[in-house]
Chains A and B, each alone.
Chain A
Amino acid sequence: MPTAPEHRIRNLAVVGLLSGIIAFVAVVQLRSQAEVQASLAGQDNTALAFLIDDLHRAHDTLEGQAASLAHQAQSLKAGGNNAAMVALSAQQQQLQIVDGLVAVSGPGVVLNVTAPLTAVDLQDALNNLRLANAEAIMVDQRRVVAESVIEDSNGQVLVDGAVVGDPWTFTVIGDPTQLGTAAGLMARSLDSDPRVKSVSFRSNPNLTIGAVIRAHPFVYGRS
């Protein structure tokens, strides 16, 4: 049984540790707030209005994700073995789609571009589509995720070592409204680019992306 002085030392240590954690969290929070404020300095009203729109969309997406996770947690808590299997199977399907490991179907857009685009152009296009909540993307016949390696090589663009474009076909599955808006903006921007010979897009309620990413088991990392 610990003596009174040992008790006091332990209590002091716990208080000290907690104070340290609180101070750390407060500093991190203040620093991130300061970063947000610093990044906003000098932004005009139009830029801020666009940012607000982005943040609203991010909020909707995060709320949707939180609701779905809360439902999943509830199923795992309440159910027995069968409920756990159902919840795990649903998770498996979702994550396989996110990781690009399985073929997928769903609504979305197909964007066609005839132009000698570069790796930077391709990255920009992919960024725009992902910010419009694209859930699966195929460029020509290559499935693309953020880990896909995109590079210029001898005047051609490679995705994971394979040549893609020109002409380019982006097949994208996700929220058809958001993707339609993003594709429209991209088409307008590309249309004013002198390198671009033609650009068009169409929405489609039932697209299929057959290309998949090969799984890379971790060799160095562990969870």
Chain B
Amino acid sequence: MDLRRPGAYLLAIVALAFGFVVAVQWRSQLIAPGNRIEQNQALLQSVLGLERQNQQDRSQVASLRVQIGNLEADASTRSDQTNQLAATVNGLRAEAGATTLRGPGLTVTLDDGKKGPDLQGATAWVVTYQDVQDVVNLLFQGGAEGVAVNSRRITPLSGFQGTGGTVVIDQGPPLLAPFRISAVGDRDAMQSLLSQTSSLGDLRLRQRLYGVSLNVDLSTQITLPATDSSLEVRFAHSP
């Protein structure tokens, strides 16, 4: 090659650049799986750290609510007006799931079945967040005054999400089967609705096909914990 020709320099630069790109690409192909695993581990650690932090926040919220309840009880002794308002607020708080609720009720336990012949997709034997939400919905239809899923209290603002067999309520810690859905209220009305063949059709079908389990236990005394999720309203106001 005649290096005095300008085209030779151009060719050399292009070849260098090409070689560099190929080398980078080859190297990234080589190290990608390791990197992916490292990244996955790093992301997992972040998730676990955030879960721990949020758990601490939730404990703080729960403890502040107890403290406020006690301070309000003190304040209610100061005048009849304060006493009346404190009682109203306490009633609203109970309705929002921000106080412990005790009373007769029942617990529905949902558990995964066995992986069998695939008639409805690969995860039909797994209990999903939609199954859990269907049961919660049915219990409210039966007049439940309060509901908790694996001790996470449902509030008027509660949202469900999940992937596979994981259920996340109000961005709280992920819950796994078995799911214990407890409700305080009219046991007969709730049980009657649960036993109707038209109720929970999809779950009942999967109970037969895949052994997904659905058990109901009645109780004279159920205790539902108060929510530790946020109930703060920052944007909505009375007109």
Q: Residues of A with Cβ closer than 8 Å to B?
A: 32-33, 35-40, 43-45, 47-49, 51-52, 54-59, 61-66, 68-70, 72-73, 76-77, 80-81, 84-85, 87-89, 91-108, 120, 123, 126-131, 134-136, 145-151, 173-176, 208, 215-223
Contact = CB atoms under 8 A, between A and B. Distances in A.
Interface of B: 36, 39-40, 43-44, 46-48, 50-51, 53-55, 57-58, 60-61, 64-65, 67-68, 71-72, 74-75, 78-79, 81-82, 85-86, 88-96, 98-105, 130, 133, 136-137, 140-141, 145-146, 154-161, 163, 166, 170-176, 184-186, 224, 229-239
Given A52-B47, A81-B82, A98-B233, A35 B173 contact: yes
A35 B172 CA distance: 12
B157 A92 contact: no
B67 A104 contact: no
Contacts of B155: 98, 146
Task: Kindly list the 3 A-B residue pairs having the minimum CB-CB distance in the complex, ordered from nearest.
Answer: A130-B159, A84-B75, A58-B171
A73 B50 contact: no
A76 B82 CA distance: 12
B156 A36 contact: no
Contacts of A65: 61, 230-232
A95 B184 contact: no
A56 B98 CA distance: 23
A91 B96 CA distance: 12
A175 B236 CA distance: 9
9 contacts: A58-B170, A95-B93, A97-B236, A98-B157, A131-B171, A145-B156, A174-B236, A176-B235, A216-B95
A80 B71 CA distance: 11
Contacts of B74: 76
A97 B133 CA distance: 23
Residue in B36, B159, B170 whose Cβ sees the most chain A Cβ within 10 Å: B159
B65 A221 contact: no
A59 B233 CA distance: 16
A36 to B, nearest CB: 5
B99 A88 contact: no
